[in-house]
């Protein structure tokens, strides 16, 4: 997981530009402000819209849109798995040819990026299709076994409109594959982030605190303790980060002096913010207090990260500032409102867990039977 915010201005080694020893001209204050502001805006978009879509996803019945629920055990393992993955990538880049590794990764993210971008733009594109558009339904179903032992491996439902979105996304994919242009990179990065916030659900606030706390330590160690994360971020030619050129005003779309923000700094706080939105809705008070508080906390934390990075001219572990803000602000509001117990007792079940589905059905049936008994009385 790439989770560092890098500031490659004034020709520093983090710029990812030519390695011919030629010093870059210093970035202008306007260019730096534009790059920072754009990164902040791009980070906010997938969190906001991903959180809204996560509510619909939690209520949906389509198997292809079912969220993946993260439990406390998953959260505790995640920093360890992420560390092993990061170190493995670092060793791969040190041992093997960077060119061939990035070629394989480009093909892998080419496919993933098209699927993610297609899923992202599908709700928006549906508004532009005329009512007379011939829309046919399709289902991709893979099963294992037979009879009572049959088990679904893949169950994906789509329609003709989705195929059109897939075709449009493929154009962006080819553009990224051939040019590695920063705009194509960002389109894929935004799609990955929005899908992550929408489809990855924390089962409760305690799990969110465990995940963010573990990745807080992970981020600080790999950025301040070693050069591993920054090295991987520079070497990894894949849309796992958002980038914006600081020399855009001088060079236009061919600019190449990039500031970057890892997708981990968007998705990890984003899924916690989305959880708080669903908690707000569960309170049935017609307010989104915790969502807006955590969203404002994210803006504050990322803004502080950018400020510190600009002052010290060094890549910063953004989660160092985002985690205390995103957890601290909502908990403080809960303390003031006397809703700490409600916040930490809020629980979401895994819709893919048969036991959870059974419990939900039993609860519904019990509720229905109580309603009938009241009517009979």
Give the span between the Cα atoms of 172 and 176, in whole angstroms.
Answer: 6
Q: List the end-to-end C-alpha distance of the chain, in Å, as a whole number.
A: 59
Pairing of strands 200-202, 68-70: parallel
Question: 16 with 8: CB under 8 angstroms?
Answer: yes
Q: Which of 2, 247, 265, 280 is catalytic?
A: 265
pTM recorded for the entire structure: 0.84
> Is residue 74 among the annotated active site residues?
no
Q: What is the pLDDT tens value at each position of the chain, 377 positions in all?
A: 555 566 544 333 334 444 344 556 667 889 999 999 999 999 999 999 999 999 988 776 555 567 899 999 999 999 999 999 999 989 988 888 888 888 888 899 999 999 999 999 998 888 888 888 888 888 888 888 887 788 887 777 888 988 999 999 999 999 999 988 999 999 999 999 999 999 999 999 999 999 999 999 999 899 888 888 888 877 878 898 999 999 898 888 888 888 899 899 999 999 999 999 999 999 988 889 999 999 999 999 999 999 998 888 887 889 999 999 999 999 999 999 999 999 999 998 765 554 444 444 444 344 444 444 444 44
Give the span between the Cα atoms of 235 and 27, in whole angstroms.
Answer: 22
Give the span between the Cα atoms of 63 and 128, in whole angstroms.
Answer: 25
Q: Which of 2, 7, 162, 219 is catalytic?
A: 219
20 half-sphere exposure, CB direction, 13 A CA radius: 3
> Is residue 219 among the annotated active site residues?
yes
């Amino acid at each position: 997981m790439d989770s560092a915010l890098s500031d490659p201005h004034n020709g520093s080694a983090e710029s990812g530009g030519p390695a011919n020893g030629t010093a870059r001209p210093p970035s202008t204050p306007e260019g730096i402000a534009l790059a920072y502001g754009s990164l902040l805006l791009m980070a906010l978009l997938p969190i906001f819209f991903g959180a809204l879509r996560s509510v619909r996803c939690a209520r949906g019945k389509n198997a292809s849109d079912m969220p993946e629920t993260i439990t406390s055990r998953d959260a505790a393992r995640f920093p360890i798995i992420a560390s092993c993955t990061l170190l493995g990538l670092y060793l791969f880049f040190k041992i093997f040819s960077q060119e061939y590794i990035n070629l394989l990764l480009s093909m892998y993210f080419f496919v993933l990026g098209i699927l993610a971008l297609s899923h992202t733009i599908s709700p928006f594109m549906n508004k532009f299709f005329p009512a007379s558009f011939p829309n046919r339904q399709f289902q991709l179903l893979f099963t294992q076994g037979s009879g009572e032992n049959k088990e679904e491996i893949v169950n994906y439902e789509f329609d003709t409109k989705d195929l059109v979105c897939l075709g449009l996304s493929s154009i962006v994919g080819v553009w990224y594959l051939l040019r590695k242009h920063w705009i194509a990179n960002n389109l894929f990065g935004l799609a990955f982030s929005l899908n992550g916030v929408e489809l990855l659900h924390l089962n409760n606030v305690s799990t969110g605190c465990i995940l963010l706390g573990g990745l807080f330590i992970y981020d600080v160690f790999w950025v301040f303790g070693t050069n591993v994360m920054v090295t991987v971020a520079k070497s990894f030619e894949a849309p796992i980060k958002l980038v914006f050129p600081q020399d855009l005003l001088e060079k236009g779309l061919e600019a190449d002096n990039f500031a970057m923000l890892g997708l981990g700094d968007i998705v990890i706080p984003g899924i916690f913010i989305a959880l708080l939105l669903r908690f707000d809705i569960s309170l049935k008070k017609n307010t989104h207090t915790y969502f807006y508080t955590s969203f404002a906390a994210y803006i504050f934390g990322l803004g502080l990260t950018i400020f510190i990075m600009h002052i010290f001219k060094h890549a910063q572990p953004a989660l160092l500032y985002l985690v205390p803000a995103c957890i601290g602000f909502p908990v403080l509001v809960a303390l003031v409102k006397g809703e700490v117990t409600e916040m930490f007792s809020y629980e979401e079940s895994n819709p893919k867990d048969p036991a959870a589905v059974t419990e939900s059905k039993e609860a519904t049936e019990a509720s229905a039977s109580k309603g009938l008994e009241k009517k009979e009385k």
